[in-house]
Amino acid sequence: MSQASTEIIRISGHAGSVPGAGLDREFQVCKLVDTTTCIGCKACEVACLEWNGYTFSETTFDNSYQTMPETAWNYWNLIKFNEHEDPDHGLMLLMRKDQCMHCAEPGCLIACPADGAIVQYANGIVDFQEANCIGCGYCMSGCPFNIPKFSPTARKVFKCTLCNDRVSQGLEPACIKACPTGCLHFGTKSEMKELAETRATQLRDQSGFANAGVYDPAGVGGTHVIYVLHDAKNPEAYGGLPKDPHVPWTVRLWKMPLKWLGNIAIIGGVLGVFVHYLRFGPKPIPPDEENPPQAGVLRQESAPPERGKR
Amino acid sequence: MSATPILPNGRVLRYSFQERLVHWLAALSYIYLMLTGLAFWSPWLFWIAVLFGGGTVSRELHPWAGLIFVIATFKMYEMWGRQMHETELDKEFWRAVPHYIRNEDELVPSADRFNAGQKFLFWGFFWCGILLLLSGLILWFPHLIPWNLRYLRYFAVIVHPAAALLSIGLFIIHVYMGTAMERGSFGAVIRGDVSVGWAKRYHRIWYEHLLRNIATRK
């Protein structure tokens, strides 16, 4: 941990206390998206494209403000828009900034078979190393948020990096920098969690959103992108945010019990035939007849069976 | 099948050139599929992918090899499917399998062209091949599966390795029996012929049928 070399434990010949000693420095970063103050301006989308060197993609019209159906391999950050009829609040225009959630228990990483293609840093960022990606797309099956996207030209998979390149230099992610309403925040996980809870309380107590809450799903061990929602009981309304996301059980089954069962079965099978060979050996070579028949000629003495059933 | 089952060298033709060709097309593609598949199966075996040109190349070629294997498997079905139907004799064979395993072959009922064990391997490979094809097509193009059909991908990621493991079990048995255990079988699928003694011991009914065919043709 490079930052650890700036933390001082003891100082020689120093009077008084050591500055910063006993400080609990948190390395876990977090992005907070407050959907209640998002206006859907898409400045975050543009900032993301600019920083990561992509150009704007073609949009599709589907009778709403939704510009394209989902994120793409070269479009990592997309506002999901939904007209939602709420019994208490009438028509609500729900905006949610969709991007990688940077799960503590990343399904993409669990499913990936390529050495070093996906890494999870101590600060919580889950990043793809495209140089090691083999393009199998298993990460797409492991992710409960529909985030990793395959590039048909590069034949590799891409997704939001949480601006790992910026964050490692002490900067905030590009999307955060661009947000004009302050609905995006970036900081440590505990700070963001606290800020989010404060906002949710405010929404519950002062704005009449009784179900307001924070989205930090436990099914994937918590995420490093968290949301404040007007209605935390219905995250699906926010452009299909899963209510209780999990790494798919088939991926779990494949990576744990089946893996061990399979390994034992393969090794057992190879050992089994080897032991059989040691115990019984090859089948005795059947005696050829003393006078093998001529080509195409039926020899009476060889036709009747010596034993066995007809 | 050539005109006469007894070759000029006094041996019996067991597999025609076409049968051997299709068998080896399936065998070689299967071995490639198994090795590259094992590379993706476990991080401890990822080095196998390096031997085959790296992970990316292995991932690109694995599905194509799969297509070759599937085509060969369907061709085998066309060639042998009818001969692989279970008969009364097969039940007797299964009862005698403990003798077969202990090499007490005189206690094992003789078989037609294929014995019950061979039929089991054939159908095992065939159905594993079907499952591997269906799940493999999904895994080949995961990006073309829309999000609301993601359960197809969840199905594929578990069915593909499970079917592959079953087929590896069959493969171990098949290779062991065809090379180390039952001498003469490997030559049969390479050169195509077996000795008369081999034919009479393991596939007497098939052999006698061949002889009867000669007799009627004369």
Give me the pLDDT at residue A10, please.
81
Tell me the angle at which helices B55-80 and B17-41 cross, rounded to the nearest 10 degrees: 140
Cβ contact, residue pair B10, A295, below 8 Å? yes
CA atoms within 13 A on the CB side of A129: 12
- H or E element in which residue A214 lies: strand A213-215
Does A304 score more than 50 pLDDT? no
Of A81-95, A198-212, B35-49, B203-217, the least confident: B203-217
Does A308 score more than 50 pLDDT? no
Give me the pLDDT at residue A3, please.
59
Q: Does A266 touch chain B (CB under 8 A)?
A: yes
Residue B55, judged by CB atoms within 10 A of its CB (0-12, 13-18, 19+), counts as buried
Give me the pLDDT at residue A193, please.
97
Residues 6 or more apart whose CB falls under 8 angstroms from that of A216 comprise A193, A196, A222, A223, A226
Give me the pLDDT at residue B35, please.
98
Mean pLDDT throughout A268-274? 96
Give me the pLDDT at residue A41, please.
94
Does A306 score more than 50 pLDDT? no
Instruction: Give the CATH number for residue B165.
Output: 1.20.950.20
For chains A and B, CB pairs below 8 A equal: 166
Give me the pLDDT at residue B189, please.
94
Total structural domains within chain B: 1
Of A258, A282, A307, the CB nearest to B180: A282
Q: Mean pLDDT over all residues of chain B?
A: 93
Residue type, A255: K
Mean pLDDT throughout B36-53? 95
Give backbone dihedrals phi and psi of A91, rounded to 5 degrees, phi first: -75, 125
Q: Does B97 touch chain A (CB under 8 A)?
A: no
Does A296 score more than 60 pLDDT? no
Residue type, A232: A
- The domain segmentation of chain A, as residue ranges, is 24-246, 248-277
Of B56, B161, B208, the CB nearest to A134: B56
Paired strand residues for A157: A150
Does A6 score more than 90 pLDDT? no
Nearest CA in chain B to A158: B143
Q: Would B5 be classed as within a structural domain?
A: no
Q: Does B82 touch chain A (CB under 8 A)?
A: no
Nearest CA in chain B to A151: B143
Give me the pLDDT at residue B213, please.
82
Q: Are A160 and A189 in contact (CB under 8 A)?
A: no
Does B110 score more than 90 pLDDT? no
Cβ contact, residue pair A308, B204, below 8 Å? yes
CA atoms of A192 and A283, how far apart (whole Å) = 72
Residue A306's nearest CA partner among A291, A289, A283, A292 is A289
Residue A220, judged by CB atoms within 10 A of its CB (0-12, 13-18, 19+), counts as buried
Q: Does B4 touch chain A (CB under 8 A)?
A: yes
Does B136 score more than 60 pLDDT? yes
CA atoms of B24 and A7, how far apart (whole Å) = 65
Distance from B199 to chain A by nearest Cα, in Å?
9
Residue A59's nearest CA partner among A49, A48, A70 is A70
Q: Would B6 be classed as within a structural domain?
A: no
CA atoms of A73 and A135, how far apart (whole Å) = 12
Nearest CA in chain B to A279: B102
Q: Does A278 touch chain B (CB under 8 A)?
A: no
The pLDDT tens digits for B176-195 are 999 999 988 999 999 999 99
Query: In the CATH hierarchy, which fold is given to the domain comprising A24-246?
Result: Alpha-Beta Plaits (3.30.70)
ipTM: 0.88
Give me the pLDDT at residue A182, please.
92
Residue B4, judged by CB atoms within 10 A of its CB (0-12, 13-18, 19+), counts as middle
Burial B155-183 (b: 16+ CB within 10 A, else e): bbbbbbbbbbbbbbbbbbbbebbbebbbe
Give me the pLDDT at residue A289, please.
55
CA atoms of B139 and B163, how far apart (whole Å) = 14
Residue A79's nearest CA partner among A56, A92, A55, A97 is A97
Residue B113, judged by CB atoms within 10 A of its CB (0-12, 13-18, 19+), counts as middle
Mean pLDDT throughout A65-83? 94
Nearest CA in chain B to A277: B181
Q: Are A78 and A70 in contact (CB under 8 A)?
A: yes
Mean pLDDT throughout A281-303? 58
CA atoms of B105 and B123, how far apart (whole Å) = 24
Q: How far is CA B1 from the centre of its chain?
A: 20
Mean pLDDT throughout A163-172? 93
Residue window 10-39, chain B: list those with CB within 8 Å of chain A: 10-11, 39
Give me the pLDDT at residue A303, please.
41
Residues 6 or more apart whose CB falls under 8 angstroms from that of A183 comprise A33, A34, A35, A36, A37, A38, A39
Q: Are B156 and A141 in contact (CB under 8 A)?
A: yes
Give me the pLDDT at residue A38, please.
95
Give me the pLDDT at residue A309, please.
36
CA atoms of A180 and A184, how far apart (whole Å) = 9
Q: Does A54 touch chain B (CB under 8 A)?
A: no
Distance from A285 to chain B by nearest Cα, in Å?
7
The pLDDT tens digits for A45-69 are 999 999 999 999 889 998 888 999 9
- H or E element in which residue A227 lies: strand A225-229
Residue A68, judged by CB atoms within 10 A of its CB (0-12, 13-18, 19+), counts as middle
Tell me the angle at which helices B116-140 and B88-95 cross, rounded to the nearest 10 degrees: 100
Q: Which residues of B touch A140 (CB under 8 A)?
A: 142-143, 153
Of A82-96, A130-144, A176-190, A280-294, the least confident: A280-294
Give me the pLDDT at residue A24, please.
66
Cβ contact, residue pair B109, A309, below 8 Å? yes
Domain of B181, in residue numbers = 13-217
DSSP A37: T
User: A198 pLDDT band (50/70/90 cuts)?
Assistant: very high
The pLDDT tens digits for A228-264 are 999 999 999 999 999 999 999 999 999 989 999 999 9
The pLDDT tens digits for B120-132 are 999 999 999 999 9
CA atoms of A105 and A252, how far apart (whole Å) = 12
Q: Which residues of A touch B156 (CB under 8 A)?
A: 141
Q: Does A119 touch chain B (CB under 8 A)?
A: no
Give me the pLDDT at residue A288, please.
64
Q: Mean pLDDT over all residues of chain A?
A: 89
3-state SS class at A126: strand
Does A5 score more than 80 pLDDT? no
Of B55, B143, B180, the CB nearest to A114: B55
